[in-house]
Amino acid sequence: MNHSRKFQFFRNGWGIGSTIIMLMVLFPSMFILSGLITPASENWTHITKYLLTDYILNSTILVLTSAILATVIGVSLAWLIAAYEFPFRTALKFLLMLPLAIPPYIAAYTYNGLLNYTGVIQTFLRNHFDIQVSQQLFDIMNMRGAIFIFALCLFPYVYLITASYLEKQSAAMIESARMLGKGSFEIFFRVVIPLARVAIVGGGSLVALEVLSDYGVVKYFGIETFSVSIFTVWFGIADVDAALKLSGVMMLFVMCILLLEKWLRGRRKYAPSTTKAKPLKRIALTGAKKWIAFSFCLTVFAFSFLIPVLQLLHWAYLSFDRLDATVLAGAVANSFVTTVVAAVPIVIAAIIVANFNRSRSGFWSSLFARMMSLAYSIPGSVVAIGVITLFVAVERQLAGVFLSGTILMLVFAYFVRFLAIGYNSIETGFEKLGKKYTEAGRTIGYGMTQTFFKIDLPLIKPAVVAAFILVFIDIMKELPLTLILRPFNYHTLATKTFEYASDEMIHEAAISALLIISLCFVSILLLNRLTNRGNA
Amino acid sequence: MYISMKQVCFRYEGSKRKLLDNFHLSVEKGARVCILGESGSGKSTVLRLLAGLEMPESGVIEMDQRVLVDDKQMVYPEHRGIGMVFQDYALFPHMTVSQNITFGLKGKSKAEKQELLDEMLDLVDLHAFCKRYPHELSGGQQQRVAIARALILKPKLLLLDEPLSNLDESLKEKIRPELKAILDRAKITTIFVTHDKNDCVQLADYIVVMNQGCVTRCGLLDEVLIRRPAQVEFDLVT
C-alpha cells in the first residue's frame, strides 16, 4: 500500500494522540542514552576505575539469585495450586497474591527489626530460654538477606502468571501425560516446566527488573548497586553527567535482562495455540501429601505476608501514642492525590494508544508496544534522572517557566514509568473484545471516536478499572522515583516510611507502612473480584 | 454500473501474498449477488473493502458514480451508506434488540425513531423480542436483528458476510426462505458471501465464483450454477 493510501486510512486523532504519547515516553530515555556519549567527568573516571565493577557485580548477583529463588518458589506454588486439591487451597490461592501488597523495603525493615538483637525473636530466646544466638546468623543486612527479602516479596509475579497459564492452557497436555502413565514429578519437570517456560521466564524477568529497580532494600542493607550509586552521585556529589552515564549503563543492563528473557523464551510465544482451552482438572491429594502441600503454601504465606504484617501491627500499637497525625494525614493525602492525578492520565493515554494499536497491526503498533515495555523496564531512579534532564532542557527553552521540583514533574515520571501497566490491561480487554463491535458501529454510521465511547468503552470497563487499580498499586508503593522527584518537603506514605526507617524510627514507620499495605490489599481484593467476575 | 471495483489489489499487513490481485467486480442496482468461494479465497475481503474496513493497495472502488477509494481519497465506513451484517452478527451485548436496531439513527426525534423501529420489527418479525438482550435470542433471531440494524439506515447497499454459517443445517433450511422474504421486501442491492451453494441457489440472482483472489466465473445464477454445477465445483476446488 502506498504511503498516501496508508495515511488516508489511518489519519485520525487517535493516531496523532498515540504518537504524541509515545514521544513523551521516549524522550527521557533518549536523554539518558545521549548522556553515554558526552565527555567523561572526573567523577565518572573515578567511578569506572574503582566502583563500576562492584556495581555491576553486586547488581548481577542480586538480580539473578533473587529472580531464580523467586521463580523456584513461584513455580512450585503455582503447580500445587493449579494441579492439586488440598485443604484451604482456594483461600491460599488468594492469600499467596497478598505479598504483592508489601513493598520489599517495608519487608526489609520489618525482618531486620524482627531478627536483630533487640527484635522479638532474640529477646524471646534470651528472656525465656537464656539462649544467646550468633549475631552473624541472624544478621540479614547483607546480600543473602536482600535475596531472601526480594524472593519473598516478589515471587507472586511468577506465581500469578504461571498459575494462570497452567490452569487455563495446559490441561490437554498434562492430562495426556497422566494418561501415558507419567508420575507427578516427571510431569512437572518434563511437561509443566517446558510448557510454562514462557510464563515462567516472563514472571522471572519481572522479578529481575523489580530487583534492579529497587532502592529501599539495598540502601537500607548497604549494598552498592546501580540504584544506590545513582542516588549517591546525584545527591552526594551532585554530578549530573556522571548520574546520567550511570543511568545509561543501567539501561544497557536492563536491555541485557530483556535480551536474556527473549533468549530464554526461545521461539515460543506466550499465547495458546488454540482458543478451545479447557481448565486443568485438579487431583485431590490424600493423606500426608495434602498436609505437606498445605504446609508449604502456608509457610510461604506466613513468611511473606503474615509475619511482617503482625510485626508491623505490634510496632504500630507501640508507637501509636507518638503518632503525629498531621504529618501522617498529609502523607496520606499526598499519596492519594499524586496517585490519582497520575493514574487518570495514564489510563486515558493507555486507552488512546491501545485503541489506535488495535486498529492497525504491523510495524507501528509493535514499535509502540515495545517502547512502552522498555519504559516500564527502566528502573525508577533512571527514569527520574531522564525526566529531570528533560524538564531542565524544557525550562532552558521556555525562560521563566519553572517545572523542576513540581508535582507535574513527578506525575510525568509516573506516566513514563507506569504507562505500560495500564496499556497491558486495556490491550487485554480489547483483545478479548475483538474488532467486530467497532466495525459494526462504523458500518452503521459512527466514527472511530463515537464508536469508542458508545460501544467499546462500556464493554471494556472492567479492563479500564483493572488498569487503574494496577497503576494505583504500583504508584502507591513506588519509592526511588518519588524520592528523587518529589517537591521539597513533600511526603508520600512511601517516602515517610523510608524516612522513618532510615532514621532508625522503625516503630514509627509501621503505621505508614501498614497504610500502604492496607491500600494495596484493598486494591488487590477489588482486582481479584473483578478478575473472577470476568472469568465467570 | 452501480458498484464497481476496478483493478483492486489487497494484501494484509505483513503478508507477502496478494489476497486480491487486479480484482474486478461490477454490480447493477437492485441486484442480489452471491460471491461463492472456499475459505481463504478472498470473498470476505471483498466485502470489507466495499464497507471501508480495509484499504486496498491499489485500484478504485465506486458506488452510484461516487468514488469511495482511489489514490486521492478514502471515504470512511461511517460515511459510505453501506450496511453490513457480520458473520457472527456483532450485536452489541449491552443493548437490547430495540437499542441495537436504533443505534445508528442520528438526528431523529423519538417518534421518528419509534416509527422506523416498528417498521424494521415488522420486516424481521421480532416485535415480541424487542426488549431482549442478544444472548437471550436464538441464532436466527440474532441474524434478523443484525439485518434490521443494517436496514434501518436505508443503506444504498447491503453486505452480508456468510449470513448463515453460524446456524446448523436444519435451521439454515428454515432461515433461508425467511431471509429471502426479508430481502425481497427490503428491495435493496445486496452482496453476500458464502461457501454454501444452497445459499446461492435460494437467495441470489447473480453469482460470482472466486478462487485464490480471482473471479473464475460470474453471471446469472441460472447460467452459472444451475446449468453448469460441475464447472463451478471444479473452479472452487482447483
Where do the domains of chain A lie, and which CATH numbers do they carry?
10-35+323-536 (1.10.3720.10), 40-320 (1.10.3720.10)
Q: Which of A9, A444, A452 to substitute to test the interface with B, most B CBs within 10 Å?
A: A444
User: Residue A436: its chain B contacts at CB < 8 A?
Assistant: 86, 88, 90
| Cα B47 from Cα A275, distance rounded (Å) | 26
The model's pTM: 0.83
Decide: A66 and A225 in contact? Cβ < 8 Å. Answer: no
Would you state the pLDDT for residue A275? 43
Report, as ranges of residue numbers, the positions in chain A whose pLDDT lies below 70.
1-11, 169-170, 266-278, 361-362, 534-536
Name the E strands within A57-96.
84-85
The set of cell numbers assigned to A164 is 494462570
Q: Give the nearest chain B residue to A455 (CA atoms).
A: B92
Instruction: Output Rg (C-alpha) for chain B, integer angstroms.
Output: 18
Partners of B61 in the β-ladder? B5, B69
Q: Give the nearest chain B residue to A6 (CA atoms).
A: B55
DSSP B74: B
Would you state the pLDDT for residue A7? 67
B92 near A CB under 8 A:
yes
| Cα A412 from Cα A338, distance rounded (Å) | 11
Provide the mean pLDDT of chain B: 87
The closest of B4, B58, B62 to B33, measured between CA atoms, is B4
Would you state the pLDDT for residue B45? 93
B94 and A459: CB-CB below 8 Å? yes
| Cα B134 from Cα B228, distance rounded (Å) | 41
| Cα A272 from Cα A439, distance rounded (Å) | 25
Would you state the pLDDT for residue A154? 95
Determine phi and psi for A284, rounding to 5 degrees: -80, 125
Note which residues in 154-193 of chain B have CB less than 8 A from chain A. Answer: none
Which of A2, A444, A455 lies at the smallest CB-CB distance from B149? A444
3-state secondary structure B124-156: HCCHHHCCCCHHHCCHHHHHHHHHHHHHCCCCC
| Cα A385 from Cα A481, distance rounded (Å) | 9
Would you state the pLDDT for residue A289? 94
Q: Give the nearest chain B residue to A461 (CA atoms).
A: B94
DSSP A502: H
B66 near A CB under 8 A:
no
Alpha carbon of A430: minimum distance to chain B alpha carbons (Å): 15
Decide: B90 and B98 in contact? Cβ < 8 Å. Answer: no
Q: What contacts B37, CB < 8 A, 6 or more positions away?
A: B43, B193, B195, B209, B210, B211, B236
Q: Give the nearest chain A residue to B47 (CA atoms).
A: A443
Decide: A305 and A155 in contact? Cβ < 8 Å. Answer: no
CB atoms within 10 A of CB A432: 12
Which of A9, A436, A458 lies at the smallest CB-CB distance from B90? A436
Which of A5, A362, A446 lies at the smallest CB-CB distance from B71? A5
A441 and B103: CB-CB below 8 Å? yes
Q: Which residue has the higher pLDDT, A277 or B166?
A: B166
User: Residue B88: its chain A contacts at CB < 8 A?
Assistant: 436
Average pLDDT over residues B176-201: 88
Would you state the pLDDT for residue A260? 85
| Cα A214 from Cα A417, distance rounded (Å) | 14
Which of B72, B82, B90 lies at the smallest CB-CB distance from A440? B90
User: Residue B101: its chain A contacts at CB < 8 A?
Assistant: none
What ipTM was reported for this prediction?
A: 0.84
Decide: A472 and A423 in contact? Cβ < 8 Å. Answer: no
